[in-house]
A and B are shown apart, each in its own frame.
Chain A
Amino acid sequence: MSGGSLLAWRTMHGVSRLLPIVLVLLTWQAASMTGWLPASWLPPLTAVAMALGGLVVSGELATNTIASLSRAGAGFGVAVVIGVTLGILMARIRFVQLAVEPILVMIYPVPKPALIPLFMIWLGIGNFSKITVIALACLLPIVVATFNGARSVDAMLLWSAQARGTSERNLLWRVILPAALPQIATGVRTAIAIAIIVLVSSEFISSDSGLGYLIFSYGGVGADDAMLAVVLYLALLGYAFDRLYVNALRRVMAWHAFAH
C-alpha cells in the first residue's frame, strides 16, 4: 500500500470507528426535536452541549479535570507498579500464589466504591482515601492479567533462553516480563476504565472538587443539562484515553499482532 492510500485508509478507519457514536448522538437530538423525548426525561443534546460550553468557558471543567485526573493517575500508577510486581511474584513463587490468590478472588467481585466509607474512616476524607480505593480497584485486573501472562510463558521459550546461558534474574527481565507484556497491557486497559468509574464514585461520596463532585452538585440542584454535560465529557475522556493507550501500545509493541 502506498503512503497516501494508507493514510486515507487509516482516516476512513478512524471515521468508521466514530460513526456509531455519532449515530447515537444524532438519534438523541432528533428524538428531542420531534418531541418524542421530553426535556424532563432527557435534555436535548444541544442543551447539554451548551452547558458543556459554559463549563469550559468558566474554567470549572479544567480545574476539576485536573483535580480528578491527578487522583485517578496516582491510584492507577500505584496499581500498575504493585499489580505487575505481585502478579509476577505469584507466577514465579508458589507460596506467594497460595497466600494471595484466594484473597484476590474474594476481593475481585466486591464493588470497590462500597469500601469508600471504610477507607475514609481509616485514611481520612481527603485525597488519600480516594487514591487508595482507585488503586485497589485498578490493582485486580492488572494482577490477574500479569499472573496469567507470566504463568503461561511457553516452557520452550524459557528453555531456549536457559540454553543460551541466561541467569534466573535475566530470565525474569529479558524473557518472562516481555512475554507477559501483551496480557499485562490488556489488564492495564481494563484498569483505565475502572480508574474513571471508581474516581467518580469516590468523588460523589465526599469531595469539594473533581468531575464526580460536579456531577453530584449539578444533579442535586436539578441542573440536568450541566450534570449530563459532565457525564458526556467523562465518556469522551475515557474514550480518548483508551484510544491514546491502544495507539501507544501499537507503537511500543510493534512486534505483537494486536486485535484491536
Chain B
Amino acid sequence: MRYGDGSNAVVALESINLAVAEREFVTIVGPSGCGKSTLLYLVGGFLRPSSGEILLQGRPITAPGRDRGVVFQRYSLFPWLTVAGNIAFGLEEQRMPKAQRERVVDEHIRLVHLDGFRDRYPRELSGGMQQRVALAQTLACNPQMLLMDEPFGALDAQTRRILQDEVRRIWLRDTKTVLFVTHDVEEAVALGTRIVVMAARPGRIKEIIDRDFDVADGEEFDANPAFVELKLRIWRSVKAEVEATRA
C-alpha cells in the first residue's frame, strides 16, 4: 500500500499476507507508524490497495460494506444523534421496520449496559460510554466481521479493562470474526487468540503468534505465568521494532 506518488510516495504496507479464519479474534500490535491502522482501513474498504488484493470469503473488497462493522478510537458516533439515534442509524439505512428497529436498539442498549442513557447525546457521555455506544451501533447492524481501530486507546486503564472484558464476552456470545488493532501489548494478548506483530518502515508482518491458553473476565493477568511470558515475548518483539525505527 502506497500513499502519494513519484518521489514523495510512502510505502505504508508491503508484502502483507494474512489469512483470518471465521470466528477468529486477531489482534494486530506494533509500533506507531507500522501501518496497522492502514491495514484495517484496507479491510474496511475505506482505502484501496495500490497492489495486491484483499478477499472476504473469496470476493475482493472494493468498498465499505455492512458485512464489516467498524469502531474507531473516535468519530464513530454522530454528535447530533442520541444514543438510540446512533444505534438506529444503520438500521434505518437498511430500512428495517420501526417496531423491529426499536427492539434491536433496546436490546443493544442493554447489551452495552447503557440503560437510562437512551436519549443522551454523545457529548453528555464519558469516553468509555461513547465507545460502548459505538460498539452497540456496530453490533446492531449485525456484521460478520468487527474491525476495531484502537477503540479503547483514549480510555483510562480501569474503563479499558471493563470494555475489553465486554468485547470478549460479545465475541464469545456471537462468535464474530474480529480484527482488533492496538498499540497496547497487554490488550493484544488479553483479547487475541492470534496476535500479529507488525514492523515499521515499510509496514510488514513480523510474526504471528497463537495464544494457546484462555483468558477469563476479570483475570489477574500478572498471576498467570503463561500470560506474563507471552506478553513479555511480544513486548520485546515490539520494542525491537521501536528501536529499529529510531536508529
A contact residues vs B (CB 8 Å cutoff): 154-157, 159-167, 170, 174-175, 178-179, 181, 253-257
Contact = CB atoms under 8 A, between A and B. Distances in A.
A155 B72 CA distance: 11
B75 interface: yes
Contact of A255 (B69, B70, B79): B79
Contact of A160 (B65, B75, B80): B75
A156 B78 contact: no
A174 B86 CA distance: 11
Contacts of A166: 93
Given A164-B66, A165-B94, A254 B121 contact: yes
Counting chain B residues whose Cβ lies within 8 A of the other chain, the interface size class is: 20 to 34
Contacts of A178: 78, 80
A179 to B, nearest CB: 8
Interface string B147-168: 0000000000000000000000
Contact of A164 (B82, B93, B122): B93
A165 B92 CA distance: 10
A94 B81 CA distance: 29
A257 B125 CA distance: 13
Given A181-B80, A255-B122, 14 more contacts: A154-B75, A163-B46, A163-B65, A163-B138, A164-B66, A164-B90, A164-B93, A164-B137, A167-B93, A254-B121, A255-B81, A255-B121, A256-B80, A257-B123
Interface string B9-49: 00000000000000000000000000000000100101000
Nearest to A166: B93
Contacts of B141: 164-165
A164 to B, nearest CB: 3
A163 B75 CA distance: 13
Contacts of B227: none
Contacts of B44: 159, 163
Contact of A165 (B65, B75, B79, B122): B65
